[in-house]
Structure 1
Amino acid sequence: MKVYDLGVLPGQYSMLIFHALARMNEEALVVVSPRDPLVSIGYFQDLSGVDLDYCQEHGISIMRRELGGGTTFLDHNQIFYQVILKKDNPLSPGSIDELYRCFSEPVIQTYGKLGIETKFKPINDILTAQGKKIAGEGGGDIGDCIVFVGGILLDFDFETMTRVLQVPDEKFRDKMYKTMQENMSTVKLELGYKPERQQVIEYLIDSFAEVLGPLERADLPAQVIELADKLGEEFSSTEFMNKRTPRQKQVPIGAGVSIKYGSYKAAGGLIQTMTTIRDGIVESLDVWGDFSFYPREKLPLLSKSVAGQPYKWDAVQAALQEQYELNQLEMPGVDMNDICQAIFQGQAM
């Protein structure tokens, strides 16, 4: 398998390269850092959580990735590791949960070589011995490939992270800043200094080779850059960025018809729903949030399963569960009861 040690890349290339490789069915390990600050939102998220004005004023680009999870702030202080495997590769784990657990091991080893004791915490976090998050990871399917991504936090700009997010007021922002500092760590905070970047990269590559097998260093083909450029236009387009923008909690439409917005924080992420109800029957359901879902393109099956069902907890949950099991869907840290919590938020069971 090839390894692409890409150093520091401008613009959104640090996120676009692995998308391009997956689209091309090219297996690889990519190690890269962004030169320019970047906000990346999850595939199933609503853009309303990002402060667009702040990002524009400070030259911070925004893109939607094709993997689930939450909003992330990326800059040169992070070294990203990105594994792209074909779905039929024997090395490809059988589930997303197994993917996180298996490919977190090389990262834990890398931190260990730096003198930092860490451990994996389901669903997709790596914690220090003191229980502070020092890496968050993501995974999912892109085309015929499975992708696993994460980053070594050499340092982290807590202040900017709180600024790129849309918050109700400054008191909330201050609380967010304090909470992040109390619950997150970095290599610099753990060691008191930032180690030499290339040394960290070598540790990463050596550790991943123990799982992936021999890795051949290679130059990135021009075709990958060309596809990355095309994807960059798509992922930053107004249409792709504004996939979902519901705002109101409940919207009466007409006689017997209403739209209800709900949200629920599950272990695997925030679930948000918008349900159209006509005369007590579910007409349509939209689901989004910062969760992970596999296979990505099959999320609409959950929505279709409840159309025509009575707007009642038992009926909706049974329909969701049947579709979930029938299609062997995966939502790490989320079950159908959690989705019902969002759908029926504020409603009696």
Structure 2
Amino acid sequence: MGVEVMWEKTHLRVLDTGLRRAAENIALNRTLLECHQAGDSPHTLRFLRFTPCALVGFHQNVEQALRVDHCRAEGIHIQRRITGGGAIYFDPGQIGWELYVDRRFLGTAHMGEIARRICEAAADGIRRLGVDARYRPRNDIEVDGRKISGTGGAFDGNAIMYQGTLLIDFDVERMLRVLRIPAEKCSDKAIASARERVTNLRALLGEPPPLARVQSALAGAFAEAFQVELVPVDDLNPREQPHFAQALAEIDREDWVYQRHRPAGGMPLLEAVHRCPGGLMRAGVMLDEARDIIRQVWITGDFFVNPRRMLVDLEASLKETPVAELEANIHRFFDAYRVEMLMLSREDFLQVLRKALDSRDPASTRAQTHAAG
């Protein structure tokens, strides 16, 4: 057994976990984030790759985001990330990078500034490969206006996991058939249009660069941006390994993957969509129309909030809320709840729920008013 490194604040561990199943990569996310928060992991840069899979964001509903039957028929694994954001398709033609650090390492506690600092460093790493990559808020890296990398983060106390993907080679057509989008967007014309919005290193450079060169460019850029020394390692440390085994047992399960379901019940579900700077929000409201009381709400989307359980707590706080008190209850919740949101506000949650309520059949609203009178 080797001697464990004595980690300094100026060290950045570099860990390449290779090509893995989606469940293993997501379990490693949880392991490294929670172990870093507990003081059992040093600052870490991880490189990773996936066998073919479709990943939904932490707050998304699988059936709304993906073509589940197509994924199963094609042997594409479905998993749920621990980070927010939208659904994405992964295969070995992409490389992932992840930073596990704390807020002091980055010199800021603000979500938007954290994204900017990390994404600008990643863009510098991609430029070292010979392409003019630039950060575009809220969380993309582009080359001449075409996306080459998407990013996102998760927080656990003072610990931060911020991750990105870099498109080395990419099958746009397969991605469009995995994601749940209108059929017309899978036409030849739509596929050509999607290719114009996304690019990859093979297309830009004529051939895919070696993985080792990509990793070296990104690692060097992060080391320079944050003034740290890179320390490569081969595996998890002894404290992380049992944590990973437990995380994998919990994540490699359907109840983790399919946890964001529509509410079940005999009452109609009023639904709405709201697009805002922080992402796309969807809401469902189960309404007791006879009493004008919200029985249950359901919110999903591709946004980023910290802590991740904020949505569950908000939904619980709105159960059995009279419609007339919805706005006051939402303000009361956010006044008392410590939450960080990326380009998102309490007004966005209020707006999507109002839109859902406004989708009621006018005839039923008139009948209710008449009965009350």
Q: TM-score range by the shorter chain?
A: 0.7 to 0.9
2:342 is aligned, of 328, 332, 337, to 332
Change in Cα spacing, 1:37 to 1:51, as seen in structure 2 (3 Å) is: same
Structure 2 contact 50–90 (Cα < 8 Å) conserved: no
Q: Distance between the aligned counterparts of 2:211 and 2:317, measured in 1?
A: 49
Structure 2 contact 26–82 (Cα < 8 Å) conserved: no
Structure 1 contact 22–144 (Cα < 8 Å) conserved: no
Q: CA deviation at 1:70?
A: 0.9
Asked if residue 62 in structure 1 is aligned to residue 73 in structure 2, the reply is no
Q: Distance between the aligned counterparts of 2:334 and 2:135, measured in 1?
A: 27
Structure 2 equivalent of residue 111 of structure 1 = 126
Structure 2 equivalent of residue 23 of structure 1 = 34
Change in Cα spacing, 1:216 to 1:61, as seen in structure 2 (3 Å) is: same
Asked if residue 46 in structure 1 is aligned to residue 61 in structure 2, the reply is yes
Asked if residue 173 in structure 1 is aligned to residue 186 in structure 2, the reply is yes
Q: Distance between the aligned counterparts of 1:131 and 1:317, measured in 2?
A: 39
- Range with greater deviation from structure 2 (94-103 or 294-303): 294-303
| Alpha-carbon displacement from aligned partner over 1:52-90 (angstroms, at most 9, x marks no partner) | 222223222121111111111112222211111245x45
Structure 1 equivalent of residue 231 of structure 2 = 216
Asked if residue 288 in structure 1 is aligned to residue 285 in structure 2, the reply is no
Asked if residue 100 in structure 1 is aligned to residue 115 in structure 2, the reply is yes
Report SS of the residue matched to 2:209: coil
1:240 is aligned, of 245, 256, 266, to 256
Change in Cα spacing, 1:96 to 1:179, as seen in structure 2 (3 Å) is: farther
Change in Cα spacing, 1:35 to 1:101, as seen in structure 2 (3 Å) is: closer
Asked if residue 10 in structure 1 is aligned to residue 20 in structure 2, the reply is yes
Structure 2 contact 273–281 (Cα < 8 Å) conserved: yes
Q: Distance between the aligned counterparts of 1:59 and 1:304, measured in 2?
A: 36
Q: CA deviation at 1:168?
A: 4.6
What letter corresponds to residue 185 of structure 2 in structure 1?
F
Q: Distance between the aligned counterparts of 2:107 and 2:292, measured in 1?
A: 44
Report SS of the residue matched to 1:265: strand
Q: Distance between the aligned counterparts of 2:328 and 2:128, measured in 1?
A: 48
Change in Cα spacing, 1:337 to 1:177, as seen in structure 2 (3 Å) is: farther
Structure 1 equivalent of residue 95 of structure 2 = 79
Structure 1 contact 162–176 (Cα < 8 Å) conserved: no
What letter corresponds to residue 145 of structure 2 in structure 1?
G
What pairs with 1:176-215 in structure 2 (closer than 5 Å)?
177-212=191-226, 213-215=228-230
Q: Distance between the aligned counterparts of 1:210 and 1:3, measured in 2?
A: 14
Q: CA deviation at 1:252?
A: 6.3
Q: Which runs of 5+ in 1 are unaligned?
A: none
Q: Distance between the aligned counterparts of 1:16 and 1:106, measured in 2?
A: 26
Give the structure-2-normalised TM-score.
Answer: 0.81
Q: Distance between the aligned counterparts of 1:159 and 1:149, measured in 2?
A: 24
Q: Distance between the aligned counterparts of 2:126 and 2:296, measured in 1?
A: 46
| Alpha-carbon displacement from aligned partner over 1:280-299 (angstroms, at most 9, x marks no partner) | 23333221112111111222
What pairs with 1:303-342 in structure 2 (closer than 5 Å)?
303-307=315-319, 309-312=321-324, 316-342=326-352
Structure 1 contact 67–139 (Cα < 8 Å) conserved: yes
What letter corresponds to residue 98 of structure 2 in structure 1?
Q
| Alpha-carbon displacement from aligned partner over 1:258-287 (angstroms, at most 9, x marks no partner) | 532222222222211122333223333221
From the CA coordinates, give the structure whose radius of gyration is larger.
2
Structure 1 equivalent of residue 148 of structure 2 = 134
Structure 1 contact 317–336 (Cα < 8 Å) conserved: no
Structure 1 contact 282–310 (Cα < 8 Å) conserved: yes
RMSD: 2.7
Asked if residue 151 in structure 1 is aligned to residue 165 in structure 2, the reply is yes
- Range with greater deviation from structure 2 (78-87 or 296-305): 296-305
Q: CA deviation at 1:101?
A: 0.5
Report SS of the residue matched to 1:27: coil
Q: Distance between the aligned counterparts of 1:227 and 1:176, measured in 2?
A: 44
Report SS of the residue matched to 1:160: helix
Structure 2 contact 285–294 (Cα < 8 Å) conserved: yes
